[in-house]
């Protein structure tokens, strides 16, 4: 749209009128679907079921436009919410077309996965209806009608089904044609303050549970109980939670010598139920000069939905449903689509380039404590081919480089904090208080003890790490060689700023000479459980990997490659760290929730090793100093060193921490060039002079 403001306003009105007309026509056609016959009962049932869902979305949209959210009772809102998500809840999922196994069983292998994807994509309309995004509804309602029309035409003309490839192409062009619309919205959702989520949070009344239903997210008992729990906390406690979170964000800029005053926006991420804390955080950020960006967690293939969650999100109705559709892009992915996505994202970043430069980075509130999830691998779920895997890895690399052209890593920061949800069990209230205590531990005390570890390891040539009991870890980690020990150091002294809670020292290992076996009996990484996870390293690179999750070795390896290696054939050890938060470890043991703690806290509960990029990824040229004034020089490795001459080979765009808990750790020692051993931890206890106080919590077990 171009011209004077008056002309632009008129064009906008014409556009909205045209959208409304398209929407009404699409809804009218969907209503007819419920009465028509295709001659193939299985397909009739599918289209009528999906049409009924879309009409339910339309009925809720009409309810919203009529101000129903302000008039309805809590009971009615809960019933409406349940109806929208009922079909993918575990008790209904086995007979849902959203389940690719059921869809294939009912519709056949050729059509089942395609039509299961279609229904899944259409389910993203729930959020768009609540946000009033008419164009998003129109293009998906029209997609349904176009697919349905292909079946009607073939049956009327040939008494046959359309070719599956015809249906795939309809969906392919939907994904390609609307990539530009999605790209603009995705960048806007990343860097532009205001909008639906921010406005809801500003008006949120934590004393009225009905406000939880304004988001259009699934509201489970977790969100309801959390909201009630937060409402009864003293304001002082709320302030402590929010202030720790936002102050960590501010300090992150301070300790890395980045200028926060140049920034205009911060994106916040949290699960519904934490609104009272987040409203306080929003005000804190406002006082820093930052507007709040708060977008919905993406559910559409156009918006890069994933197993992880971001923005604002409600309860997860069914994690198996998400897992089943994690690779839906395999139905369409090719190099043309990759190039199209890169092209439109470049246009979008260019359109919002000023807002990108003003973006300060994300501030994340993680939650933990949901019931454990053991994914079931289904052969009916789409799977990426080897060629698609390679193409997608390259695409992610190019997308990362593109984003970093507009959002400069050396100028932005982040922070992450975590809290439990009520589903963790009856000890939730007491555990919640303990987590607040852990998040606010005396960082000066930890800084002093961690400096003792750093001073010792600055004298080491490499480290040895060995498991005990059934843990088979046997690693050698090669360390950076200091040229000027008076002014340089190898490890960063990490206290509570961007990475809350306090408690680790970390470095970027020297890859050559780093070798051996890393083994953990049980670990949760990005909400997925791994049993007997084993990684073998050679010259710092993953040479082999396996776990015991599934019956076949192929399934185990594929599971790790998809979710730990992020489809790369190998990854380097990007980080070696020593967690020092023995208090968190003891709390986990006391409440029996070791397996539920997120990586954010778990990584502070023993030595950990990250596979992927280093902690200084894309900011290696920014000098970083410890509190003692020494510069941390171990900021790069053999890959990130290529960042200027060959940026496509410098980064892997992933970083996953794997922790060995203290009770599985037999030894962690530095080894000097002359072979002198520098013991840090022996049989799960700190033995280095100056760190004795770290053992005090452990003695209570």
pLDDT tens digits, 283-331: 999 999 999 999 999 999 999 888 789 999 999 999 999 999 999 999 9
Phi/psi of residue 126, nearest 5 degrees: -55, -55
What is the structure's pLDDT at 6? 63
pLDDT tier at 208 (50, 70, 90 boundaries)?
Answer: very high
Domain shared by 154 and 259, yes or no? no
Longest CA pairwise span in the chain (Å) = 85
Torsion of the alpha carbons at 675, 680, 684 and 686, rounded to the nearest 10 = 150
Element (H, E) at 14: helix 5-33
Tell me what percent of the residues of the chain surpass a pLDDT of 70: 98
Number of domains composing the chain: 3
Domain shared by 17 and 132, yes or no? yes
Q: Does residue 512 sit within a domain?
A: yes
pLDDT of 2 higher than 60? no
* Cβ contact 533:658 at 8 Å: yes
Q: Does residue 56 sit within a domain?
A: yes
Which of 376, 399, 416 is a domain's end point?
416
Question: What is residue 513's three-state secondary structure?
Answer: strand
User: What is the average pLDDT across 390-405?
Assistant: 94
pLDDT of 3 higher than 70? no
Which among 648, 579, 571, 576 has a CA at the least distance from the CA of 611? 571
Mean pLDDT rounded to a whole number for the chain:
94
User: What is the average pLDDT across 368-392?
Assistant: 93
Alpha-carbon distance of 658 to 183, in angstroms, equals 33
Q: Are strands 504-507 and 492-494 parallel, antiparallel or unpaired?
A: antiparallel
Domain shared by 461 and 400, yes or no? no
Of residues 188 and 154, the one with the higher pLDDT is 188
Domain shared by 107 and 194, yes or no? no
Domain shared by 169 and 226, yes or no? no
Alpha-carbon distance of 320 to 688, in angstroms, equals 45
pLDDT of 35 higher than 80? no
User: How far from 124 is each of 131, 181, 298, 399, 644, CA to CA, in Å?
Assistant: 12, 15, 8, 24, 40
User: What is the average pLDDT across 592-619?
Assistant: 92
Q: Which residues constitute the domain of residue 208?
A: 187-416
pLDDT of 5 higher than 90? no
Q: Does residue 434 sit within a domain?
A: no
Domain shared by 172 and 212, yes or no? no
pLDDT tier at 527 (50, 70, 90 boundaries)?
Answer: confident
Domain shared by 568 and 632, yes or no? yes
Assigned token pair, 213: 């239903």
Alpha-carbon distance of 230 to 375, in angstroms, equals 32
Which among 325, 206, 211, 316 has a CA at the least distance from the CA of 271? 316
Which of 416, 433, 468 is a domain's end point?
416
Domain shared by 287 and 383, yes or no? yes
Q: Does residue 96 sit within a domain?
A: yes
User: What is the average pLDDT across 148-161?
Assistant: 90
> DSSP readout, 122-169?
HTTHHHHHHHT-HHHHHHHHHHHHHHHHHHHHHHHHHSSPPPHHHHHH
Q: Does residue 527 sit within a domain?
A: yes
Hunting for tokens 């919002």 — which residue is that? 352
What is the structure's pLDDT at 8? 59
* Apex 99 CA angle, 94 and 102, nearest 5: 65
Which of 177, 209, 232 is a domain's end point?
177
Domain shared by 587 and 558, yes or no? yes
Q: Does residue 435 sit within a domain?
A: no
* For the chain, counts of helices (H) and of strands (E): 24, 20
Domain shared by 467 and 387, yes or no? no
Q: Does residue 554 sit within a domain?
A: yes
User: How far from 294 is each of 313, 367, 496, 556, 689, CA to CA, in Å?
Assistant: 10, 17, 24, 36, 47
Assigned token pair, 313: 């999100």
Tell me, letter by letter, the H, E, C secondary structure of 314-366. CCCCCHHHHHHCCCHHHHCCCHHHHHHHHHHHHHHHHHCHHHHHCEEEEEEEE
Q: Are strands 265-271 and 291-293 parallel, antiparallel or unpaired?
A: parallel
Assigned token pair, 596: 């539920």
91-127 tens-digit pLDDT: 999 999 999 999 999 999 999 999 999 999 999 999 9
User: What is the average pLDDT across 388-416?
Assistant: 94
What is the structure's pLDDT at 1? 46
216-226 tens-digit pLDDT: 999 999 999 99
* Cβ contact 410:618 at 8 Å: yes
> DSSP readout, 562-582?
HHTSTT-S--BEEEEEEE--H
Domain shared by 674 and 608, yes or no? yes
Q: Does residue 217 sit within a domain?
A: yes
What is the structure's pLDDT at 34? 75
Domain shared by 505 and 609, yes or no? yes
pLDDT tier at 540 (50, 70, 90 boundaries)?
Answer: very high
667-688 tens-digit pLDDT: 999 999 999 999 999 999 999 9
């Amino acid at each position: 749209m171009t011209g004077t403001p008056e002309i632009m306003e008129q064009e906008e009105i014409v556009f909205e009128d045209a959208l409304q007309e398209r929407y009404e026509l699409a809804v009218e056609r969907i209503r007819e679907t419920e009465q028509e016959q295709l001659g193939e009962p299985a397909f009739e049932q599918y289209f009528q079921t999906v049409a009924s869902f879309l009409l339910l979305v339309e009925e809720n949209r009409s309810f919203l436009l009529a101000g129903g959210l302000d008039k309805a009772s809590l009971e009615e809102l809960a019933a409406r919410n349940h109806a929208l998500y009922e079909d993918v809840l575990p008790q209904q999922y086995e007979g849902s077309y959203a389940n690719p196994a059921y869809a294939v069983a009912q519709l056949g292998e050729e059509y089942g996965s395609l039509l299961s994807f279609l229904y899944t994509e259409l389910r993203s309309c729930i959020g768009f209806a609540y946000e009033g995004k008419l164009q998003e509804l129109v293009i998906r309602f029209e997609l349904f009608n176009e697919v349905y029309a292909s079946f009607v035409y073939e049956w009327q003309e040939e008494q046959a089904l359309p070719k599956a490839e015809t249906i795939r192409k309809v969906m392919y062009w939907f994904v390609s044609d609307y990539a530009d619309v999605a790209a603009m919205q995705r960048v806007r959702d990343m860097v532009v303050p205001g909008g639906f989520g921010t406005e809801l949070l500003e008006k949120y009344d934590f004393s009225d549970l009905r406000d939880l239903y304004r988001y259009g997210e699934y509201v489970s008992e977790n969100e309801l109980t959390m909201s009630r729990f937060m409402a009864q906390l003293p304001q002082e406690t709320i302030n402590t939670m929010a202030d720790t979170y936002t102050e960590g964000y501010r300090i992150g800029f301070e300790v890395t010598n980045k200028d926060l005053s140049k920034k205009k926006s911060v994106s916040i991420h949290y699960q519904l139920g934490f609104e009272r804390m987040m409203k306080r955080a929003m005000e804190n950020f406002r006082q820093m000069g930052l507007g709040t960006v708060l977008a919905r967690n993406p559910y559409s293939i156009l918006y890069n939905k994933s197993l992880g969650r971001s923005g604002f999100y409600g309860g997860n109705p069914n994690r198996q449903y998400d897992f089943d559709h994690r690779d839906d892009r395999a139905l369409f992915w090719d190099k043309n689509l990759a190039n199209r996505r890169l092209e439109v994202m470049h246009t979008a970043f260019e359109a919002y380039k000023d807002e990108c430069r003003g973006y300060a980075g994300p501030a994340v509130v993680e939650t933990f404590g949901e019931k454990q999830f053991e994914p079931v691998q289904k052969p009916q779920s789409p799977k990426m081919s080897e060629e698609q895997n390679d193409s997608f890895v390259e695409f992610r690399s190019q997308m990362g480089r593109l984003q970093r052209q507009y959002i400069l890593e050396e100028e932005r920061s982040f922070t992450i904090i975590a809290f439990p949800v009520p589903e963790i069990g009856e000890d939730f209230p007491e555990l919640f208080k303990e987590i607040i205590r852990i998040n606010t531990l005396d960082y000066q005390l930890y800084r002093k003890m961690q400096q003792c570890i750093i001073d010792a390891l600055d004298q080491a040539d490499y480290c040895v790490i060995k498991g005990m009991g059934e843990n088979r870890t046997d690693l050698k980690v090669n360390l950076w060689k200091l040229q000027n020990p008076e002014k340089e150091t190898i490890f960063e002294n990490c206290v509570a700023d961007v990475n809350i809670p306090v408690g680790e020292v970390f470095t970027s290992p020297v890859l050559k000479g780093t070798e051996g076996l890393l083994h953990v009996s049980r670990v949760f990484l990005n909400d997925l459980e791994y049993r007997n996870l084993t990684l073998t390293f050679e010259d710092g690179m993953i040479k082999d990997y396996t776990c015991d999750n599934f019956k076949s070795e192929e399934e185990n390896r594929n599971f790790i490659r998809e979710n730990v290696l992020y489809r790369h054939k190998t990854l380097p050890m990007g980080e070696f760290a020593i967690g020092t938060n023995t208090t968190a470890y003891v709390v986990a043991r006391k409440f029996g929730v070791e397996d539920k703690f997120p990586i954010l806290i778990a990584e502070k509960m023993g030595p950990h090793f990250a596979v992927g990029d280093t902690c200084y990824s894309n900011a290696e040229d920014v000098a970083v100093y410890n509190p003692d004034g020494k510069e941390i020089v171990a900021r790069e490795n053999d890959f990130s060193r290529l960042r200027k001459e060959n940026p496509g080979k410098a980064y892997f765009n992933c970083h996953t921490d794997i922790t060995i808990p203290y009770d599985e750790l037999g030894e962690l020692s530095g080894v000097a060039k002359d072979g002198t051993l520098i013991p840090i931890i022996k049989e799960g206890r700190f033995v280095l002079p100056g760190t004795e106080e770290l053992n005090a919590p452990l003695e209570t077990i």
